[in-house]
Chains A and B, each alone.
Chain A
Amino acid sequence: MLHGLAGQALAFVAALALAPLLSGWVAQCRAWLQNRTAPPLWQPWLVLHKRLLRETVVAENASPLFRSVPALVFACMAIVCTIIPTLSTDLPLAVVADAVVLVGLLALARVLLSLAAMDVGTAFGTLGARRDMMVGFLAEPVLLMVLFTAALGARSTSLASIVDVLAHRELAIMPSLAFAGVAFTMVSLAENGRIPVDNPTTHLELTMIHEALTLEYSGQHLALIEWAATLKLFAYSCIGIALFCPWGLAADDTPLALLLAVPALVAKLAIGGMLLAIAETVSAKMRIFRVPEYLGIAFVLAVIGMLIHILLGA
């Protein structure tokens, strides 16, 4: 139990520390692929530090909701990162929330952020809220269906049990995971505001989704929201790793095993980040009207993945 808590704390700290670095790594890879000079790996940390030092400007008509949302969204994302088995599957806090709650927490963060964006009452804020909720209500079922496909195999929605089953069974190939994998990739690109759906580096009004939501935030609030966004990317990467390549986790919860699991995680994240950068570089952003179609495809693929699981697994 004590070791479990230590592992949990280590995973929490690792998530907070590594998440900005993962975003920095993706940006670096993109820069290399596009023949630009790459920013340093710790650039997101520098940006966070800079924003935290700055003065925070709040709109006059903003309600207390606007001011409390950044910390709440950050807390939701931090808890999401804590309940995903990244280093070991022995997580005492895993009983608090299972896969369905995980999706619920992501939805809670999105709803809070959208409400905050509507709070100031600018055209961009409400536009961003509407678009983000649109992406959200289509993406949420996909993510849940992907998790369900894995959960059916483990007969459990507890993430720790799912990963435990996936990691410790004999080497076997699950055809349903092919569909789930494609659907998951599509939905994580959409949810993290990545290129076919949204462009994290643009501020062009007509196309932006996530940036429009956070337009009114500045200073410490913005720092927290950006940190939360990197945590979200980290969480999605970790879900992907946990479902589709769950090897290299700590076998027991001795401190040594936990510490050895950290480099494995970093290596897997590095490969994942590289793939993300490649995917973003080779594809073009689609029109916003195409996004529902894109997510609809992901939805159908996720459902078929589950069907294949039932067909073959039973």
Chain B
Amino acid sequence: MNALALQFIDLLAAVSLLLAFALLIQRRFSAMIDFYATQSLVLVITTSLAGWMTGQRHLYLSAALTFVLKVVLIPVLMHTLLRRLHLDSTVDTVVKLPTTLLMGLLLVIFAFGVARPIAQLSTALASGTLGIALAGVLIGFLMMITRSRAIPQVLAFLAMENGVFLAATGVTHGMPMVVELGIAVDVLIGILILGVFLSHLHSAAPSPGATAREGDGA
């Protein structure tokens, strides 16, 4: 039973990486937010499962917090922001999409290669999870680099943070509660600031990415 649950955690980590790729290649803002919410939901399930397996109570609390914050609150806030600012256009990427994909693939290879020796040292839950989570973090970082507009960049940052949480769950049974709470409050405040910032920017200039988009001939 335990082995099955371990494999299930690996599967969830893989799904989370899949969703990170979906975020990387998605062009529409609203779909990106939905993918982020789904990825967070996967994280919630992973955390609760890890809690059930190891019997650590605080993981349940962490899962609940993730659910409220990342599955409900942040997506709703972002959707509201999009609606209010009429921002739901296509994302303009700095690098062409196939190139981004190839870079993503190379990052995955890098992450897996790096994680392998580390994972062999760890005796915790699922050693394979570390590589996948690391890949998720790197993909998030890549997304921040290759996107030129604010909302996808924020989503990329959030996806990266999801990757860090996943790694923490998989390798060390979750971070201390204080750290998790701190990060959660941090993220929330960051999103609120982004909302205020974007609203003001939007009222000042109609589209922050207008100049960058002219170069895209396709």
Indicate whether A and B interact.
yes
Which of B3, B7, B97, B109 sits near A307, CB closer than 8 Å?
B109
Residues from 276 to 314 in A contacting B, C-beta threshold 8 Å = 289, 292-293, 296-297, 300-301, 303-304, 307-308, 310-312
A179 near B4: Cβ-Cβ < 8 Å: no
Whether a CB of chain B sits under 8 angstroms from the CB of A200 is no
Residues from 110 to 152 in B contacting A, C-beta threshold 8 Å = 112, 115-116, 128, 131-132
B101 near A300: Cβ-Cβ < 8 Å: yes
A175 near B14: Cβ-Cβ < 8 Å: yes
Whether a CB of chain B sits under 8 angstroms from the CB of A176 is yes
> Per DSSP, are chain B's interface residues mostly helix, strand or loop, or mixed?
helix
Whether a CB of chain A sits under 8 angstroms from the CB of B91 is no
Q: Whole-angstrom distance from the CB of A232 to the nearest CB of chain B?
A: 27
Whether a CB of chain B sits under 8 angstroms from the CB of A123 is no
* Residue interface bits B2-34, CB-to-A below 8 A is 1, else 0: 011001101101110110010001000000000
CA distance A296 to B102 in the complex (A): 9
Whether a CB of chain B sits under 8 angstroms from the CB of A178 is yes
Which of A174, A176, A303 sits near B105, CB closer than 8 Å?
A303
A311 near B98: Cβ-Cβ < 8 Å: no
What residues of chain A lie closer than 8 Å to B159, measured between beta carbons?
A: none
Query: Are A173 and B8 also in contact (CB < 8 A) when A293-B98, A308-B14 are?
Result: yes
CA distance A175 to B131 in the complex (A): 13
CA distance A311 to B10 in the complex (A): 11
Residues from 147 to 173 in A contacting B, C-beta threshold 8 Å = 171-173
What residues of chain A lie closer than 8 Å to B14, measured between beta carbons?
A: 175-176, 178-179, 308
Query: Are A304 and B108 also in contact (CB < 8 A) when A311-B128, A312-B10 are?
Result: yes
A312 near B97: Cβ-Cβ < 8 Å: no
Q: Whole-angstrom distance from the CB of B111 to the nearest CB of chain A?
A: 9
Q: Which residue on B lies nearest to A313, using beta carbons? A: B128
CA distance A178 to B11 in the complex (A): 7
B18 near A300: Cβ-Cβ < 8 Å: no
What residues of chain B lie closer than 8 Å to A301, measured between beta carbons?
A: 18, 21
Residues from 10 to 68 in B contacting A, C-beta threshold 8 Å = 10-11, 13-15, 17-18, 21, 25
A171 near B98: Cβ-Cβ < 8 Å: no
CA distance A304 to B25 in the complex (A): 15
CA distance A174 to B108 in the complex (A): 18
A297 near B18: Cβ-Cβ < 8 Å: no
Query: Are A175 and B102 also in contact (CB < 8 A) when A301-B18, A301-B21 are?
Result: no
What residues of chain B lie closer than 8 Å to A189, measured between beta carbons?
A: none
A173 near B131: Cβ-Cβ < 8 Å: no
Which of B7, B98, B108 sits near A173, CB closer than 8 Å?
B7
Q: Which residue on A lies nearest to B7, using beta carbons? A: A173
Which of A182, A296, A308, A312 sits near B101, CB closer than 8 Å?
A296
Q: Whole-angstrom distance from the CB of A127 to the nearest CB of chain B?
A: 21
Which of A172, A178, A292, A293 sits near B15, CB closer than 8 Å?
A178
Whether a CB of chain A sits under 8 angstroms from the CB of B104 is yes
CA distance A308 to B218 in the complex (A): 34
A178 near B101: Cβ-Cβ < 8 Å: no
What residues of chain A lie closer than 8 Å to B108, measured between beta carbons?
A: 304, 307
Q: Whole-angstrom distance from the CB of A189 to the nearest CB of chain B?
A: 16
A173-B10, A310-B112 given; 11 more Cβ-contact pairs under 8 Å: A172-B7, A174-B11, A175-B7, A296-B97, A300-B105, A301-B21, A303-B105, A308-B17, A308-B132, A311-B112, A311-B131
9 contacts between A and B (CB under 8 A): A174-B11, A175-B132, A178-B15, A300-B101, A300-B104, A300-B105, A303-B105, A304-B108, A307-B108
Closest 8 CB pairs of A and B: A175-B14, A312-B128, A175-B11, A173-B7, A175-B10, A311-B112, A178-B14, A173-B11
